[in-house]
A and B are shown apart, each in its own frame.
Chain A
Amino acid sequence: MKVLVLNCGSSSVKYQLIETSLEQIEANADVVIAKGSVDRIGTGSAVHTFQPAGRAKITESGEILEHREALTQIVRMLTHAEKGVISSPGEIDAVGHRVVHGGEKFTTSALASPEAIAAVEACVPLAPLHNPPNLRGYEAAKRILPDVPHALVFDTAYHQTMPPVSYLYGLPYVLYSRHKIRRYGFHGTSHRFVGWRSRHLLGRPREETRLVTCHLGNGASVCAIDHGRSVDTSMGFTPLEGLLMGTRSGDLDASVVFHVMHEEDLTEHQVTTMLNKHSGLFGLSGVSNDMRELLAEEAKGHERAKLAIDLFCYRLRKYVAAYAGAMGGVDAVIFTGGIGENSPAIRARSLSGLEFMGIEVDAEKNAAAIGTEADVSAHGARVKTLVIPTNEELIIARDTVRLVAGAENP
């Protein structure tokens, strides 16, 4: 079936039309028919980029004031006589929506219903920047494609299997019962996908596999997967916690926030922006949030670029070892995300020193694995090290198909 996958931000919509089915999922043979995005929604100069598979990219600019108009344009483009890839909107069999926060309500992806949407609305206070545009996108799509099933795929759902020792903070318990202050974790679809894929590659049943999955992109998180379930992850109440990221600080003593606010006379907004957009690799290096640029600068002798990269790798190493400890061992470490898939240097540097745990990387195999699925472990290493490219849109399409077919999540 053809699934339209939507990822709606406050002023953008990213989309893909994917042909998939239960059989195609099993054979890893899903087909992306077209992808595109609409940016700068709400302005007179919105940009619609459309990329049909195997054909030239098309870019159009014009006034698009709201998500419904953006969705109308997207469907019009998909069904356009010359530029399009399908002949009528009726060919779209289902719509899959990325939703950032499902709170404690959603432990898996779900078909949209009035009750489900009300529950997503109830999570708005937990993700005030993300859930509202996700909901606007859903409402717009529902209006334009009212007769097909719509699925909601959450960033948080996969981590709902975490036990209280992982998800609670050491705060007064009443803050959890009253405001649901706890760790939720994000990148759930990605961790779930590479976890599933790695068990497939390793040929091991989920009951006998302990994994540490490292999703390293501009945002980055680590997940401990035991028995196929997330038992801990490094992002917390928001995506700010955990690893050093492109522009986010990751783990931090909360007292620093108040001290800096006082010393620098900062508002709540300024300190929030500082932690989320001016910190991490970018803030430490003063150069860039892009790992490729940092590695190039480091090679030229830039000291703070090196410091930022070292810090990134060091913190990742701590998390990998900690999660192995949390699970009482680890069978495989998996790298995914832009950095995880494409940077052999970061993979090697992050894991160096963990040989005592049986983690050993083969330099040659590691160097060759760029953007492809690969086993980069050294011969005879007790713990496998794998590279598995992630694909969020594909996972959303697959979940949609499974929900429509009434099949179980992997």
Chain B
Amino acid sequence: MEFRKITLVGGGGFMGRSLAQKMASSGIDVTVLEVSEERIAQAREAMANSLDDELRKWGITASEKKVVLSRVTFTTDPTQAADCDLAIEAVPEDLALKQAVMLRLDAVCRPETVFVTSTSTLSVTEIAAASGRSDRVVGMHFMHPVTRSKIVEIVRGSETSDETFAKATALARTLEKTMIEVFEYPGYVVTRAVVPFVNEAMHIVMEGVASAEDVDLALRLGFEFKMGPLEYADRVGLDTMLGWMEHLFRELGDFKYRPCPLLRKMVRAGHLGRKAGRGFFEWKGNERVRSEKEVSR
């Protein structure tokens, strides 16, 4: 196996946990680096819960759950990253924060170790510039949940070497993801295309053309999508969605990325989607509350 040990900085976050679980399930030893014992306890519990969900869905066995958990080590000690084959950062989308992480990793890791940034919107080149090894930094934009999604966007910064890119491709293969090669540009493919789509669905609801449920139903059944754009936004988190839109609007300046006023209003009201129990739809835990009309479909 090409990757024995991978360090995941910020692996206790939403995306980080899912990525850690996927990597451990693929046979890789994962060291999750977090800022506090409290974050570690949360991350550990969340990962155990997620594996229990998969066990309830018959996707793994009890012994496989144990094996996966045994491959993940949680720590607050950055020197634990010293001997890893690859380091991935999955800290919040904040340029200064991501740059600080690169700097700290550079101080402890071997010079040849490749760093991956999991940014969905920021510039890989800019993040890499702080690493002291910009040719060995590459972007990998995973989709949530990493355990189920089928693709990953691999992003070349302006200095990323072919060797580094190949390393990211190998990781994608190990994680059984189809790789989409993208060149650095705001929003890459996935985020850039989905933002106006979701935004338009929100406008349709705001303008009173159809209910949120019917908009989703129309698009889901009409185009055979797995879920509608509003349910997707609820799952991602409406605050996160708003963040993506503001970023694209700012970077590209095009009005098609301007966040729908209804979205702003909902975020201000704290109706953030699944995690808040309420967004465009009502939620109970991880499940959407569905009307009879929808259930019959």
Contacts and interface: CB of A to CB of B under 8 A. Distances in A.
A295 B89 CA distance: 52
Interface in A263-282: 264, 266-267, 269-271, 273-274, 277-278
A42 B58 contact: no
A66 interface: yes
Contact of A43 (B4, B59, B61): B4
Nearest to A266: B57
A42 B27 contact: yes
A278 B29 CA distance: 26
Contacts of B29: 43-44
Nearest to A283: B58
A310 B199 CA distance: 58
Nearest to A63: B4
Given A267-B59, A271-B58, A274-B58, A42 B148 contact: no
B61 A277 contact: yes
Give the dominant DSSP class at A's interface: mixed
A270 B1 contact: no
B1 A66 contact: yes
A65 interface: yes
B1 A273 contact: no
A148 to B, nearest CB: 29
Interface residues of A, number: 16
A356 B54 CA distance: 48
Contacts of B4: 42-44, 65
Interface string B58-90: 111100000000000000000000000000000
Of B27, B58, B59, most A-chain CB atoms within 10 Å: B58
Contact of B58 (A44, A65, A270): A270
Contacts of B54: 270
Given A43-B29, A44-B29, A269 B1 contact: no
A66 B4 CA distance: 11
A42 B29 CA distance: 10
Contacts of B27: 11, 42-43
Contacts of B58: 266, 270-271, 273-274, 277-278
Contacts, number: 34
A278 B61 contact: yes
Nearest to A42: B1
Interface in A259-315: 264, 266-267, 269-271, 273-274, 277-278
A114 B148 CA distance: 38
A305 to B, nearest CB: 18
A43 B57 CA distance: 28
A274 B60 CA distance: 8
Contacts of A66: 1
A269 B54 CA distance: 11
Nearest to A279: B58
A409 B59 CA distance: 41
Contacts of A11: 27
Interface string A161-183: 00000000000000000000000
Contact of B59 (A42, A65, A269): A269
A25 B29 CA distance: 46
Interface string A64-101: 01100000000000000000000000000000000000
Contacts of A274: 58-59
A273 B29 CA distance: 23
Nearest to B67: A40
A31 to B, nearest CB: 35
A269 B25 CA distance: 13
Interface in B1-56: 1, 4, 27, 29, 54
Top 8 nearest A-B pairs by Cβ distance? A274-B58, A270-B59, A42-B1, A278-B58, A270-B57, A277-B61, A273-B59, A270-B58
Interface of B: 1, 4, 27, 29, 54, 57-61, 148
9 contacts: A11-B27, A43-B4, A43-B27, A44-B4, A65-B1, A269-B59, A270-B54, A270-B58, A273-B60
Interface of A: 11, 42-44, 65-66, 264, 266-267, 269-271, 273-274, 277-278
Given A273-B61, A278-B58, 15 more contacts: A11-B27, A42-B1, A44-B4, A44-B29, A66-B1, A264-B57, A266-B57, A266-B58, A267-B59, A269-B59, A270-B54, A270-B58, A270-B59, A271-B58, A278-B61
